[in-house]
Structure 1
Amino acid sequence: MEMTTDLSAFNTGTYKAGPKWKVLSWYFVNYYIMNSAFPWPMGLKSRLLRLFGAKVGKGLVIKTKVRIKNPWRLTIGDHCWIGESVWIDNLEDVHIGSHVCVSQGALLLTGNHDYTQTDFPYRLGKIRLGDGVWIGAGSIVCPGVSCGSHAILTVKSVATRDLEPWQIYAGNPATFVRKRTMKTNA
């Protein structure tokens, strides 16, 4: 007998979003404030993230239309930028270091499905962005990927494997392009 995918058999396995009251409350905050086109004050957004369990450093710049699945699974360091329409789909922990830029339309994706099994179960993996990382506009960081200190993932690229520190990656899947160098301010 030929095996086929059976989505009617899907279940979330060991994944639990959190207490129902918290998930439901966050749904409204996420929809009406975080994912809104209205430019709510960034300080308010930081406070709401903290209220729902995120660890957020000082100086967070968080633009409009940002979606965050589970703030209680999010850590953001100091002086980070989260651009317009970023989606942090954190079914698993996401750790963003300090001085990190996640550009507009980027996706941090901690969940996928195991296509080798008929019931299509979740495959989850933590994401870690080291200090000074830049995730380009429209790029995707896949489950289980770590981006080393000051790595760059260029525009519309897909990180399916770890990015080494101080290196620039491009493409789908992203491959090494060159070393990142920085000039001193004159």
Structure 2
Amino acid sequence: MTRITPVISVVTVVYNGAAAIEKTIQSVLNQTYEHVEYIVIDGNSKDGTQDIIKKYEDRITFWSSEPDKGIYDAMNKGISKCTGLFTIFVNCGDYLYSASTLASIVETYNSELQQYDMVYGRAKIIKEDGSLFDLTFPHSHEEMWRGPCFRHGALLARTIILQNEQFEVSKELKIAADFDFIYKCYKKGCSFVSIDIVVMAFLEEGVSDNPYRHLKDSIYILKKYKDWNLKTRKYYTYKYSRVVLSKSPVQKIYHGIRLFLQEYLANYWINKIPFYFIRHAYYKKINGIRIGKGSSIHLNCFITGNNIEIAENSVINRRCFLDGRGRLFIGNKVSISPEVHLITGDHDYNSPGFLFRSKDIIVEDYVWIGSRATILPGVKLGTGAVICAGAIVTKDVEPFAVVAGIPAVKIKERNRDLNYNPSWFAYFD
């Protein structure tokens, strides 16, 4: 497959966004990937937004400021100026997750994704206190009728498709013209693919975060494309009931019960039951943990959060701490010894409010983590890596490296010819 360095078009639309626009602009201009064109469409702001844009206009490919008919009209104006192979929207208040985001996407695209029309990644939510949490969806693009399965700002779409289809600007679609565009492309047979890259972060409260309006627009879209049937009616009736309950005192009771089941009961009762099939069934159903075939979580492990995935034939020994507040992924044939801590969340000690933040931990295949080792937020353990007992790992470990100490440093290499299965299920464990 021929490697390419495509131009990526980035579009930002803004109206009276002086408080947030500069961080958005900087997240685009600070990208390490060089082949980027940047387009900013302002809706004739009156709060000083234009002055901030002018500070960076020598690095912006095109920008304009004029009245528009709303956010989707502004997005269409931006699309008309794009010349890149793909286009991504990073609207005011959102930002690209890291300086290497676009470079990572292009690298992944070159290795395996060149045939796809729509490439989407993951997103994080910016809470009011500044902390970050993973945004998750319960379905994939193969079940698009259930609603969006990714944040629109985490999507790179082929520019030619955007220019041909554009966003509908109408009174019927107040906040979901982006999903209308995505669903239209889905129905026309455009190819979608998910990538395991955090693409963007966005403010928790935004123009489109209205659950009632989302439901109304989604139903309108399904009817528009003739997908309003018994199955979809049943599903959206259920979703509507959940939204209604979320605004009532019943939801507070439900949340309290759920917290009791996931945090207290799971960690002080269920984790002591000496039968795997009971513990695993509970963790899957109540805690929402994904546990692959042949993998085992032994007695007395403490689990918090539910963003945890364990692939096949891996073993988590007794008294380990699994932190699913950020994303915790454990690959195939991983051996985790007793009392290991995998911590995805911490606090910003420089923050006046001691802000909580989370970062992913990725443990690749054939990793062995020794007893009482600690893996800190944001660490990736490469295939076949060995973490010696008692080590504290603060940064990524390369494949097949053996690391030890506080902080952990590389001391030797491991044999690369690995072919074993550490999975085991002890009686009454």
1:108 aligns with 2:342: yes
Structure 1 counterpart of 2:377, one-letter code: P
Worse overlay, 175-184 or 41-50: 175-184
Task: Compute the RMSD of aligned alpha carbons.
Answer: 2.3
1:174 aligns with 2:408: yes
Q: Which position in structure 1 is the counterpart of 2:270?
A: 33
* Structure 2: distance between partners of 1:12 and 1:45: 35
* Structure 2: distance between partners of 1:182 and 1:145: 21
Q: Quote the offset at 1:24 in angstroms.
A: 2.2
Secondary structure of the 2:281 match is: helix
Greater percentage in helix? 2
Q: Which position in structure 1 is the counterpart of 2:243?
A: none
* Structure 1: distance between partners of 2:350 and 2:303: 28
1:153 aligns with 2:390: no
1:22 aligns with 2:258: yes
Encode CA deviations 1:23-53: one digit per residue, 9 max, x unaligned. Answer: 222121332011x2x5x21122222221132
Secondary structure of the 1:29 match is: helix
Structure 1 counterpart of 2:293, one-letter code: K
1:132 to 366, 386, 404: 366
Identity %: 27
Structure 2 counterpart of 1:22, one-letter code: R
Q: Quote the offset at 1:121 in angstroms.
A: 0.7
Unmatched segments (≥5 aa) in structure 2: 1-128, 135-253, 420-429
Which is greater in Rg? Answer: 2
2:282 to 48, 63, 68: 48
Query: What TM-score results when the alignment is normalised by the length of structure 1?
Result: 0.83
Residues 133 and 357 of structure 2 are in contact (CA less than 8 Å); yes or no, is this contact kept in structure 1?
no
Residues 402 and 411 of structure 2 are in contact (CA less than 8 Å); yes or no, is this contact kept in structure 1?
yes
Q: Which position in structure 2 is the counterpart of 1:121?
A: 355
Residues 346 and 356 of structure 2 are in contact (CA less than 8 Å); yes or no, is this contact kept in structure 1?
yes
Q: Quote the offset at 1:14 in angstroms.
A: 5.1
Residues 109 and 141 of structure 1 are in contact (CA less than 8 Å); yes or no, is this contact kept in structure 2?
yes
Worse overlay, 24-33 or 128-137: 24-33
Secondary structure of the 1:89 match is: strand
Bigger relative CO (Cα 8 Å, ≥ 6 apart): 1
Q: Quote the offset at 1:180 in angstroms.
A: 0.5
Unmatched segments (≥5 aa) in structure 1: 1-10
Pair 1:183–1:87, CA change in 2 (3 A): same
Q: How many residues align?
A: 170
Pairing of 1:6-21 with structure 2 (within 5 A): 13=131, 15=133, 20=255, 21=257
Secondary structure of the 2:410 match is: strand
Q: Quote the offset at 1:12 in angstroms.
A: 8.5
Q: Quote the offset at 1:183 in angstroms.
A: 6.6
Structure 1 counterpart of 2:413, one-letter code: K
Encode CA deviations 1:164-186: one digit per residue, 9 max, x unaligned. Answer: 1111110111001111016789x
Secondary structure of the 1:69 match is: strand
Residues 107 and 140 of structure 1 are in contact (CA less than 8 Å); yes or no, is this contact kept in structure 2?
yes
Q: Quote the offset at 1:89 in angstroms.
A: 2.2
Structure 2 counterpart of 1:62, one-letter code: I
Q: Quote the offset at 1:123 in angstroms.
A: 2.5
* Structure 2: distance between partners of 1:184 and 1:69: 32
Encode CA deviations 1:131-161: one digit per residue, 9 max, x unaligned. Answer: 1111110000000101011111100001100
* Structure 1: distance between partners of 2:321 and 2:396: 20
Query: What TM-score results when the alignment is normalised by the length of structure 2?
Result: 0.37
Secondary structure of the 2:269 match is: helix
* Structure 2: distance between partners of 1:109 and 1:98: 20
